[in-house]
Amino acid sequence: MYQKKLKIRRKFLSHAINHVAGEKVVGGRVASDIYAKILGYDNNNTLNYLLTKNDHIAQMRVMNDWDFNNERAFEILSFYIPNFTQSMFFNIEQMSKPWYTGSYIDWRPQLISLLKGVENAEYLRYRNYYDLCDGLSYLFIYLADEIYNNKAKNRIYIICCVLSDLVETGRITSIRWTDIAALYREDNFNLLVEKIFQDRRKFIHDVELLGRIENYVFKDSSLFSTHSIAATPFQNLFRELGVDVGNLSLSVDLERNLQLY
């Protein structure tokens, strides 16, 4: 799992660097070593070896990842990228995790291409599950051009929170684009909400997360009750991500745990 996370994160980092600093500034192998050095290791081979030995410190460093406040990351990237600046550092850090802003319009085609190759959203960069869920909800509304649609953002956040709890508790193995797309359908989302309130703690094991989910569900049915979920823009987006929107179905492990039908 950790090697798969590194592979996806390195790919995002490599493409983000080349997008910001110029084509082919770093290749895949160099990006691998850059990522390892940012996490505190001499090179990718050393980090991979420790991960194969289930080294706890290496695993935790992969999990904790890095962010804009990481001075080591700035110094390492400065070594590899000519005329490196704080602004470039900020853009690369933002573009290499599940977050997207309108200022990166020209990054969208590359980002879609990269996301299509992600089989599990857990492999993207994040600090904790709340950060991942929040990042994914912003990512989807920006990519669907629904930046001001709070109802859509709320629903994506709820769906991602549920899926993250199911992954964390070992009931499903992955957070998949096809499952997010299927649960975003109006009928499935309504069934999901019923499931949340019927089973509560038996279904959502994290108490704090359950409280957040219930709060967002309340907003969905009150503050944003008359708002549109923008089904067509999201269908188009999911189609871009490689989802067969004409034949949506839940993954086997997710369907078994949700039992919506």
**pTM for the full predicted model:** 0.92
What separation in angstroms does the CA of 75 have from each of 10, 26, 63, 79, 85?
A: 17, 16, 21, 6, 10
What's residue 63's pLDDT?
86
What's residue 3's pLDDT?
87
Residue 115 has pLDDT above 70, yes or no: yes
Question: Of 158, 134, 137, 169, which Cα lies nearest the Cα of 213?
Answer: 158
Range 204-227 average pLDDT? 91
pLDDT tens-place string over residues 117-134: 999 999 999 878 888 999
Question: Of 21, 228, 41, 234, which Cα lies nearest the Cα of 2?
Answer: 41
Least confident of 25-29, 57-61, 104-108, 144-148: 25-29
What's residue 57's pLDDT?
95
More confident site: 24 or 116:
116
> How does DSSP assign 84-136, residue by residue?
--HHHHHHHHHHTSS---GGGGGGHHHHHHHHHT-S-GGGS--SSHHHHHHHH
pLDDT tens-place string over residues 8-64: 999 999 999 999 988 777 877 888 999 999 999 999 999 999 999 999 999 999 988
Range 235-259 average pLDDT? 92
